[in-house]
Structure 1
Amino acid sequence: MSAPRVSAKRLAEALGQLPPTAEQAAVIEAPPGPMLVVAGAGAGKTETMAARVVWLVANGLVEPEQVLGLTFTRKAAQQLTARIRARLAKLAGSALLRDLDPSGGLRARILGSEPEVSTYHAYAGRLLTEHGLLLPIEPSATLLSETELWQVAHRVVSSWDGELDTDRNPTSVTEAVLALSGQLAEHLVEPDLLRDAHLELEQLVHTLPPGPGQRGAPSKTLLGYLETQHARLQLLPLVERLSETLRREGALDFGSQMSLAARVARDHREVGAGERERFRAVLLDEYQDTGHAQRVLLAALFGGGADPGLAVTAVGDPMQSIYGW
């Protein structure tokens, strides 16, 4: 990488921004490559991410349209987009840019393009629209809201004519089916794998000798684990019926959308190659709350050392984890 032409401090002064702290400047000026930023609440993470984008663009390391920003909520995506746009607009009209780029070519590119900033789920949806036929998934599949998904699942449960050893009512069973379906999707586990997953544990529970101070029979806790697994097995046919119904009706839920996007990225390397060619700087906001399927997706697209020149910045704080994956 050639030496940067402008520092984060000089860029902030030119744009009328407060100068970055030493820690913020280190993040903003980091060379391309993978970087994890751990910062707590109020540390200025969004401002620093926006400043990094502008610094990369000002120094000619990336073009504006080569920047991808991902976060969890539409509100956060809108806030990050607004800050990046505002800073790039200031850069385009600054005397600093005229000094850096007398020809005006960079100014024209800044004004004529902009980064892609969206939620993780919206990005997964875009990947499925473009590459879903590789699975195959129809690009026109409808994304269901939580209420719509619950209605489909309740219809599946209410019309079930197979065996089901439970005394729970349809509403309770529906909630359990949706929970199990979501867990399978999140961890990229096919239902067939779950059918045999408990066999080794069950054998160990009933055959291993008791530990110190333990009576001969397996503990209530261990038997509870097996009972939970058996209850899941009871629900598997309903989970599969739900999946078949959604596929037949051309619908997806949020969990399936993310897991399918992860599968298409993991199993088709050309998808990642295309995304890395398209984006040269990737910002991953609130990374502490990404789940297994999201991490598989992001690693397949932008990780694994496939492209050392790719500027990937993951920002988060374990102490602010909402979901606790």
Structure 2
Amino acid sequence: MNTNYIEELNKSQCAAVTYNDGPSLVIAGAGSGKTRVLTYKIAYLLENGYNPWNILALTFTNKAAREMKERIARQVGMERARYLWMGTFHSIFSRILRAEAQYIGFTSQFTIYDTADSKSLLRSIIKEMGLNEKTYKPGTVQSRISNAKNHLVTPTGYAANKEAYEGDMAAKMPAIRDIYTRYWERCRQAGAMDFDDLLVYTYILFRDFPDVLARYREQFRYVLVDEYQDTNYAQHSIVLQLTKENQRVCVVGDDAQSIYSFRGADIDNILYFTKIYPDTKVFKLEQNYRSTQTIVCAANS
């Protein structure tokens, strides 16, 4: 076990790693060592009274999760690292949903539809309803439904939303709300969820079953989120459900580069983090290890 890794950190990295008394926001530009901060922070927690299964670390790619786990294993040993709850939002939440499926009317064997599956289901619904596929392009319909789900809007909420309906009318697609309702029901009948459902149903599970939420709050004593600028409203809301009570949350992000806005990523999540968690300590990693200062200034501007 390597405990002298703290010495490898600069002053601001070290402060971010060792502060664990409340919510923290680490603002880190490209090349400023944010993955190192996250990795060492988890190792530090493991050495300071946390069990690996009490730590939830959410990333955006499986690759990022895998690399971080390997790095942590080098610090604290593979045996401890493998019990961490570390992975993408979708992989972690599907694991939770499989364990708690009966609460939300699914079985633990539910199928996960990929983009192609959900597109082909939408195509057949559009056909059944006798709608013109040139107007109701499955891809467009899919992205409207996906956008609704990313904002935690279910078919009932969507149908009742005047603004959404006016938007659909303007796009000459007034039937979107009916398609959404059918699509939702058909997925349920088939015992299937699409990627967005993995977030929606996790949120619903925690919202409607406080005892289940309490169990996971107790289990995840510390929650860390990478690339927080790329979270959407649904992801942010679930993190809030889990951490509102104990406030043990650390998010790392770059307020200058959100790449997932097409997926509903909401940069406000990072900008308003300190309003939602008023006791947040903010750490800025200003030092860049990959590029010269000139390049960094040019990139930031």
- Fold in common (TM above 0.5): yes
1:249/1:288 CA distance change after superposition, 3 Å: same
- SS state at 2:251 partner: strand
Q: TM-score, normalised by structure 1?
A: 0.73
Contact 1:50 1:87 in 2 (8 A): no
**Which residue identity lines up with residue 29 of structure 1 in the other structure?**
T
- SS state at 1:233 partner: coil
Match of 1:140 in 2: 109
Identity of aligned residues (%): 28
Match of 2:246 in 1: 307
Match of 1:38 in 2: 27
Contact 1:85 1:114 in 2 (8 A): no
1:252/1:113 CA distance change after superposition, 3 Å: closer
Give the deviation of 1:130 after TM superposition: 1.7
Query: Which whole-Å CA distance do the structure 1 matches of 2:45 and 2:176 have between them?
Result: 51
Match of 2:121 in 1: 152
Query: What are the equivalent positions in structure 2 for 1:12-91 lying under 5 Å apart?
Result: 14-15=4-5, 19-59=8-48, 61-89=49-77
Query: How many residues end up aligned between the 2 structures?
Result: 261
Give the deviation of 1:178 after TM superposition: 1.0
Contact 2:150 2:196 in 1 (8 A): yes
**Which residue identity lines up with residue 117 of structure 1 in the other structure?**
M
Query: Which whole-Å CA distance do the structure 2 matches of 1:200 and 1:123 have between them?
Result: 31
Q: TM-score, normalised by structure 2?
A: 0.78
Contact 1:262 1:297 in 2 (8 A): yes
Query: Which whole-Å CA distance do the structure 1 matches of 2:184 and 2:197 have between them?
Result: 9
- SS state at 1:266 partner: helix
1:228 counterpart (170, 180, 190): 170
Mark the runs of 5 or more structure 1 residues left unpaired by the alignment: 1-10, 91-109, 203-224
Measured against aligned partners, the alpha-carbon deviations of 1:22-49 in whole angstroms (never above 9, x if no partner) come to 1001111103321111111111111111
Query: Which whole-Å CA distance do the structure 1 matches of 2:182 and 2:15 have between them?
Result: 52
Measured against aligned partners, the alpha-carbon deviations of 1:118-167 in whole angstroms (never above 9, x if no partner) come to 10011111121122322223221100111122112112222324xx4xx5
Contact 2:158 2:164 in 1 (8 A): no
Give the deviation of 1:249 after TM superposition: 1.3
Root-mean-square deviation over aligned CA pairs: 2.6
Query: What are the equivalent positions in structure 2 for 1:181-260 lying under 5 Å apart?
Result: 181-198=145-162, 227-228=169-170, 231-260=172-201
Query: Which whole-Å CA distance do the structure 2 matches of 1:53 and 1:120 have between them?
Result: 18
Contact 2:155 2:184 in 1 (8 A): no
Match of 1:169 in 2: 134
Match of 1:179 in 2: 143
Q: Tell me if 1:273 matches 2:262.
A: no
